[in-house]
Amino acid sequence: MPFPPSARITSDGTSPWPVEPGRYRLVVNRACPFSGRVLVVRRLVGLEAALPVAVTDPLHDDRGWRFTLDPEGHDPVLGIRYLAEAYEAAAPGYDGGVSVPAVVDVPGGRVVTNDHDTLTRDLATQWRHLHRPGAPDLYPAELRADIDALNSELADDVFFGVYTCGFAKTQEEYSAAFRRLFDRLDVLEERLRTRRYLHGDTITESDIRLFTTLVRFDAAYHGLFRCNRNKLTEMPVLWAYMRDLFQTPGFGDTVHFADIKLHYHAVLTELNPRGIVPEGPDLSVWHTPHNRERLGGRPFGDGTPPPAAT
């Protein structure tokens, strides 16, 4: 759920929060799939300078996400030790969940939005005048209805479905979520057999959302969340599709498997009481040939790949 006062940042005058380069700070955690979406979009369209990023520690304490990766344990721009401080600044007395990604207004030090659902779409559209030359159109007007419909289906069955499997309180709840998850993955396996990307020949926001969940599948969800009918690597079409995306500039270079494994296995003590972090899986397989080029397609449409990550 979005933070209660959460608002959209727009360039069309529909929000009190205007798009301004350098005004906001994007707070993420590299273990979080919803943060991952924003990092991929930001990189593909070239918003790194316009929307600087702050990275929280994959481990946290009872106050939640913290800036212990930074010198002296506080964010050098916001001057805070915990993201919760920016939530409190936006809603004094707030004692609800503190989630990432979150966009903080730097002058006011307060959270503006943590709505991951609208944030990626807004970065692709409302921030367009700040995109790099050659930025791909990730949310093309002619596909928006189809993208929104598929995103909604994937959210119910996959993006949140893995969490329902992991945190189910009854056998019935778990089994129902498990069936929905793998039924949907089977549908995707067939959908992607004859098309390179979810909506055809070019990457869209749907591909980004699916990527950031499935890239975590074998490293976290298969074992820890009991999503264990099979591994991603055992679904040949989806596995090739995911390697194709992983090897595309802007995707794999935003993924940090060490943070992913550490966060899920060391923080979620309800599921892993001893906090032991697994050594596997073998990550070198992400760099093996995928052979998806045979399907054709233009990953960035009329645009160009982002420059090499620094």
Positions marked active-site: 32, 163
Give the position of tokens 């994937």.
154
Give the position of tokens 């030359």.
133
Rounded distance between C-alpha atoms, residue 124 and residue 242, angstroms:
22
Rounded distance between C-alpha atoms, residue 97 and residue 2, angstroms:
10
- Integer-rounded Cα radius of gyration of the chain: 19
Q: Which residues lie closer than 8 Å to 290 by C-beta, 6 or more apart?
A: 240, 241, 243, 244, 247
Give the position of tokens 């893995």.
162
Rounded distance between C-alpha atoms, residue 82 and residue 205, angstroms:
30
- Tell me: is residue 239 an annotated ligand-binding position: no
Q: Tell which residue, 235, 254, 233, 245, has the closest CA to residue 191.
A: 235
Which of 215-223's residues contact partners 24+ apart within 8 Å by CB, and which partners? Answer: 215/33, 215/36, 215/242, 215/246, 215/255, 216/33, 216/260, 216/264, 217/162, 218/281, 219/257, 219/260, 219/261, 219/264, 219/281, 220/260, 220/261, 220/264, 220/265, 221/162, 221/165, 221/166, 223/278
User: Would you list which residues are annotated within the binding site for glutathione?
Assistant: 65
